[in-house]
Amino acid sequence: MKYYNPVKISFDTICGEELSKLSGIGKKRLIFCYDGFEKTGTFSTITDGGENDLVITDVEENPSIQSIDKFLKSAHNFKPEIIIAIGGGSVIDTAKVVRFGLYLNRSSVKELLEGGVTRISGEKPLLITVPTTHGTGSEVTMWATVWDKVENKKYSVSDIENYPDHALYDHRLFSTLPMSVSVSSTLDALSHSFEALWNKNSNPVSDHFAFESIKLIIKYIDDLNDPVPADVRKGLILASMYAGLAFSNTKTAAAHSISYPLTLNYGIPHGIACSMPLFPLLKINSKGMVDKLDRLFMNCEVKSPEELEKKIKAAVKGKVPFSLEEFGVKENELEGLVGQSFTKERMANNIIELDSGDVRKILGDIYK
Ligand SMILES: [Fe+2]
């Protein structure tokens, strides 16, 4: 059994204070943050707007390779010693790809994807990630998801050298998170945990993190109402971090594979797209993880997959849509989605091998 994760974690920290300790004085810093963060009080504790800081706020949702190319070019010109990413998965993934592009001295994402991992440069800026949603897990993983929106394709930039150096968690940064994003990111973390458990690469350490994550999500998801109490927010941030630590070593599996065309074709938020298939998948995958089921059901406080589905649907009702029909998918389009649902390296991780018939049934099950 091997488990590896080199990211240094500061939990329940004050972002501004921790960043100034880690950044040093006079270092050139490239700061990616979500649009609007520059108007917050925390932003002014991080940067004084001097020439040593280059701030980028126009990161794309589900970042396209074309948008990242633009940032990579600026980064090559600026030559940062430190890269800071403050935001959700899109911001963190963008920063990871830019840092990796600098490290390998690539001028575009396509070059990065096609060029393998030949080390050219050796200069690797320190990467500090500060998540502001509790679902992505990207702050503790070695991959970044990027999208070619011209060719309608999703890619993963993944390498052992692509782990961030530090992940900082400050619950104060989540206070303005819209409820729909709070819910969908929690569901993303839930999906990462389940996918780590029913994964061919699972091991006792990843299982432990996944079980703990699920326990916390089930404990707190019903209390996710505005204003979100600090203990609920901290519990869900911790759950997301545990989920990240779990799937950082297993990668995802069938639920994420099925989610990609749902996001690409219908714009279904990632956390919803990858969590709707969890319940039909639990029924299928149960036979491949018999030894984990008792602990799983105990942590979810249920006795069956049906009971779990009812529980999660009740918790998210009125906060986010949770069926394909509600996102405008037509029933006669399901067949066409089946082929697109097979991302080979994700599907191959699933503990039970799925065929087209299985996937068509799953899509039918999550339609209404
Ligand atoms: Fe995910």
pLDDT tens track for 346-357: 999 999 999 999
**Torsion angles phi and psi, residue 9, rounded to 5:** -110, 130
Distance CA 368, CA 136 (A): 26
* Cis peptide bond prior to 227, omega within 30° of 0: yes
pLDDT for 64: 95
Distance CA 198, CA 208 (A): 13
Q: In angstroms, what is the span from residue 190 Cα to ligand 1's centroid?
A: 9
Q: In angstroms, what is the span from residue 118 Cα to ligand 1's centroid?
A: 28
Q: What is the mean pLDDT of residues 174-197?
A: 96
Q: In angstroms, what is the span from residue 156 Cα to ligand 1's centroid?
A: 12
Q: In angstroms, what is the span from residue 119 Cα to ligand 1's centroid?
A: 29
Look at residue 122 and tell me whether its pLDDT is greater than 80. Answer: no
pLDDT band at 159 (very low <50, low <70, confident <90, very high): very high
Distance CA 65, CA 137 (A): 21
Can you read off the two tokens belonging to residue 99? Answer: 């840092």
Q: In angstroms, what is the span from residue 294 Cα to ligand 1's centroid?
A: 25
Q: In angstroms, what is the span from residue 140 Cα to ligand 1's centroid?
A: 13
pLDDT band at 214 (very low <50, low <70, confident <90, very high): very high
pLDDT for 210: 98
> Greater confidence, 230 or 152?
230
Tens of pLDDT, residue by residue over 286-299, are 999 999 999 999 99
Q: Name the strand (E) or helix (H) holding 30.
A: strand 29-33
- Range(s) of the chain covered by CATH 1.20.1090.10: 178-365
Q: What is the mean pLDDT of the chain?
A: 94
pLDDT band at 89 (very low <50, low <70, confident <90, very high): very high
- Range(s) of the chain covered by CATH 3.40.50.1970: 8-172
Q: In angstroms, what is the span from residue 277 Cα to ligand 1's centroid?
A: 12
Distance CA 258, CA 279 (A): 13
Find out if CATH 3.30.70.1350 is the number for domain 8-172: no
Q: In angstroms, what is the span from residue 9 Cα to ligand 1's centroid?
A: 20
Residue 84: strand pairing partners: 31, 128
pLDDT band at 213 (very low <50, low <70, confident <90, very high): very high
CATH architecture of the domain with residue range 178-365? Up-down Bundle (1.20)
Cα 63 to Cα 32, 67, 93, 151, distances in angstroms: 13, 7, 8, 14
Hunting for tokens 């994700």 — which residue is that? 346
Give the burial class of 68: count Cβ atoms within 10 A of its Cβ; 0-12 exposed, 13-18 middle, 19 or more buried: buried
Look at residue 189 and tell me whether its pLDDT is greater than 90. Answer: yes
pLDDT band at 91 (very low <50, low <70, confident <90, very high): very high
Look at residue 77 and tell me whether its pLDDT is greater than 70. Answer: yes
Q: In angstroms, what is the span from residue 237 Cα to ligand 1's centroid?
A: 15
Q: In angstroms, what is the span from residue 24 Cα to ligand 1's centroid?
A: 33
Q: In angstroms, what is the span from residue 195 Cα to ligand 1's centroid?
A: 9
Q: In angstroms, what is the span from residue 272 Cα to ligand 1's centroid?
A: 9
Q: In angstroms, what is the span from residue 137 Cα to ligand 1's centroid?
A: 8
pLDDT for 149: 86
Cα 320 to Cα 272, 308, 323, distances in angstroms: 8, 17, 10
pLDDT for 160: 92
Distance CA 241, CA 239 (A): 5
